[in-house]
Structure 1
Amino acid sequence: MRYTHTLAAGLGALALTAALLPPPARAADASAPVCEVNRPVRFSGLNWESNLVLAGIERYVLEHGYGCKTSVEIGETLPMLAALQRGDVDVTPEVWPGQIEGAWKKALASGKVLGVGHVYDAGEGWYVPRYTVERNPGLKAAADLARFKEVFADPEDPGRGRIYGCPAGWACGTLNDNLLRALKLDKDYALFAPGSGAAQKAAIVSAYKRKRDIVFYYWTPTSLVGALDLVKLELPAFDQAAYTCMTDPKCATPVATEFKPNPVVTGVNAAFAKEAPRLTDFLSKLTVPDDAIDATLGWLETEGKEPDDAARYFLKQYAPVWRQWVPPDVADRVQSALERE
């Protein structure tokens, strides 16, 4: 009888101990998400703000909502498109098909790359500050620049004007080079290629603060265009044939046309998409309202933060937006991670 009582007491203690364990602690391992791939998901880190913010948003959701590990490979547009085809990276958060028209069509035709979703609509153009137009009221269109080269004198070649084009190595460099030739401005203007996106932005902001005249290429959505009072120079109406030639480095006789409106998509390696259908479904549903991306990039600019900080800002501020991209259980895990920060 003494042993029976001892055994019963022991079993009772074990049952009491098990009962006292908090249920979430016991269920945690069972409910923890398991990533569809057993290696880090590799993102293209193209070196402009909106792409890096998008990469930060997507990585946070994958890590905290889907249980994945992630990494970022930094590079330029065309080399990273080649990497996406090879499978060296899995996801490019921001692809502008219109800007790399020929290369993108070839990538899709290879069957190794997919373009999914509709992230937002992006645009491009040549801009001047509004105060420059007020000083030079005849300046309305890009073609008018021929009469104003002294206003935008190149400090390294005062006999010509300077247009601040794309940072060196960016795909938009071909477009700007061809547009300059199409407008017959190549004799009167030098197209200056800053060494980086940061250098380009610094040159524009410095001139603006000093009320100096400057003409430059830029794109939207960006915090800079939203923060400064700018005028976009007019170009001839969009023509697809002319634009196709403008994207070609070998375009012999470029014809001026408006930049093509760019519905931005997410680039996904096809083999990865097959391996990770749930992750690809998330990327396919990812779309960002214009006001949300503008406000997020504006916060990045005014606060002087990093793109990953802006990604978390977006996730904290726009839960009704991103919750539509993922299943409820994924959204709840992401929300919990944000609340723990």
Structure 2
Amino acid sequence: MTFRNLMASAAVVALGAGAPALAQVESSDPIRMTLHDWTGQLITTNIMARVLEEAGYNVELVQADYLAQFAGLKTGDLHVAMEMWETTGREAMDEAVATGTVVNMGSTGMEAIEEWWYPSYVKELCPGLPDWTALNDCAEVFATAETAPRGRYLGGPVTWGGFDPERVEALGLNYEVIHAGTDAALFAELESAYQRQAPILLWVYAPHWAPMQFDGEWVEFPEYTAECYEDPSWGINPDMAFDCGKPRGPIWKVAWAGVADKWPGAASAIEAFSIDNDTMGGLIALVDLEGGAVEDVVEDWLWENEDTWRAWVEG
């Protein structure tokens, strides 16, 4: 047995000590928490799930689409989503909350950035960066056989949203958006390009290990405002919306409105959950860069931070 497995086994034993019995919780029905397709969200959700299990709750993890999950949250078929990013999910979240069937459970403590990003060495080939107006002058730098003569922008999986094709059209950018199939594929391509010092322009987000490990910059688009997304007459292009950068802000927790009535103790723990960008970036690196299993990384974190997570449960 490896040291990591020994530690994980010890953590399971230690975490079980003193945990309330299932009979003490308000309902033994499973709390269904959603899983998405990026490492940080898997870690966040598994941490919360394990904490709830240690408090005696029955938890079920369900794979769900990032935006389509709101249909299940509205009906109560799904119960908790641990990461709704201000940058890409605010519109869907606000619409769901407005129905009264979904509630915002507060910030995770993490602050989201999602934007076009490039390695610093690319500035030698496109010295006008990070100003977005330099992009068309450098389109050939980022062109590939697939997109030439247009530049290539590697976006996140299409389910992430983000309005990148709309931004390209609204700002008149000579680029084609190519969506990565998965989070892992997105950053594998970044690693490969960085090792070869090859030009690349792609979606990078924080909290994540990539902007911590690689020297680079986010493109500076016109500053985001709500009007930019909602009013075509606002901004540089008077005929189209999305002619600005992406919003930045908190990563939220959301839940079916019935969670607080059916599992009030769990609702309080979810509201209390908080973790910062640097901590999450480090945990993601343990999985993506060092090959750790999400479950092992979560167990180690629980072992090392018992005072933190027990405070969520005990109030």
* TM-score, structure 2 normalization: 0.85
Range 123-132 or range 30-39, more displaced: 30-39
Range 316-325 or range 74-83, more displaced: 316-325
* TM-score, structure 1 normalization: 0.79
Taking the aligned partners of 1:258 and 1:61, their CA distance within structure 2 comes to 37
| Residues 66-89 of structure 1 deviation map (CA, whole Å, 9 limit, x = unaligned) | 212222111221111211112121
Alignment match, 2:200: 214
**Is residue 313 from structure 1 mapped to residue 300 from structure 2 by the alignment?**
yes
Taking the aligned partners of 1:31 and 1:60, their CA distance within structure 2 comes to 13
C-alpha change, 1:192 and 1:40, in structure 2 (3 Å) is: same
Select the residue among 258, 277, 291 that pairs with 1:290: 277
**Is residue 84 from structure 1 mapped to residue 70 from structure 2 by the alignment?**
no
**Is residue 203 from structure 1 mapped to residue 193 from structure 2 by the alignment?**
no
Taking the aligned partners of 1:75 and 1:207, their CA distance within structure 2 comes to 31
8 A Cα contact 2:209 2:281, kept in partner: yes
8 A Cα contact 1:57 1:311, kept in partner: yes
Alignment match, 2:138: 148
8 A Cα contact 1:162 1:190, kept in partner: yes
Select the residue among 249, 257, 265 that pairs with 1:278: 265
SS in 2 for 1:177: helix
8 A Cα contact 2:157 2:180, kept in partner: yes
Which amino acid in structure 1 is aligned with residue 21 of structure 2? A
**Is residue 60 from structure 1 mapped to residue 64 from structure 2 by the alignment?**
no
Range 302-311 or range 82-91, more displaced: 302-311
**Is residue 168 from structure 1 mapped to residue 168 from structure 2 by the alignment?**
no
Q: How does 1:9-158 map to 2 (within 5 A)?
A: 32-33=21-22, 34-64=24-54, 66-119=55-108, 120-158=110-148
Unaligned runs of 5+ in 1: 1-27, 329-341
Alignment match, 1:4: none
Which amino acid in structure 2 is aligned with residue 281 of structure 1? S
Alignment match, 2:9: none
C-alpha change, 1:31 and 1:130, in structure 2 (3 Å) is: closer
C-alpha change, 1:255 and 1:289, in structure 2 (3 Å) is: closer
Deviation at 1:171, TM superposition (A): 2.1
Taking the aligned partners of 1:128 and 1:158, their CA distance within structure 2 comes to 19
Range 123-132 or range 79-88, more displaced: 79-88
8 A Cα contact 1:238 1:259, kept in partner: yes
Identity of aligned residues (%): 27
Deviation at 1:29, TM superposition (A): 11
Q: Which one has the largest radius of gyration?
A: 1
8 A Cα contact 2:265 2:313, kept in partner: no
SS in 1 for 2:81: strand
C-alpha change, 1:159 and 1:41, in structure 2 (3 Å) is: same
SS in 2 for 1:150: helix
| Residues 229-281 of structure 1 deviation map (CA, whole Å, 9 limit, x = unaligned) | 111111112322103459xxxx9612522321121111111112211111000
| Residues 282-303 of structure 1 deviation map (CA, whole Å, 9 limit, x = unaligned) | 1111111222212222222332
Taking the aligned partners of 1:170 and 1:202, their CA distance within structure 2 comes to 18
Alignment match, 2:221: 235
8 A Cα contact 1:126 1:215, kept in partner: yes
Alignment match, 1:8: none
Deviation at 1:181, TM superposition (A): 1.6
Q: Quick check: which one's helix share is greater?
A: 1
| Aligned-pair Cα RMSD in Å | 2.3
Select the residue among 287, 297, 303 that pairs with 1:300: 287
8 A Cα contact 1:226 1:298, kept in partner: no
Taking the aligned partners of 2:19 and 2:50, their CA distance within structure 1 comes to 21
8 A Cα contact 1:168 1:196, kept in partner: no
Unaligned runs of 5+ in 2: 1-16, 233-237
Equivalent residues, number? 292
Alignment match, 1:12: none
8 A Cα contact 1:126 1:142, kept in partner: no
Deviation at 1:221, TM superposition (A): 0.5
Taking the aligned partners of 2:279 and 2:31, their CA distance within structure 1 comes to 26
SS in 1 for 2:68: helix
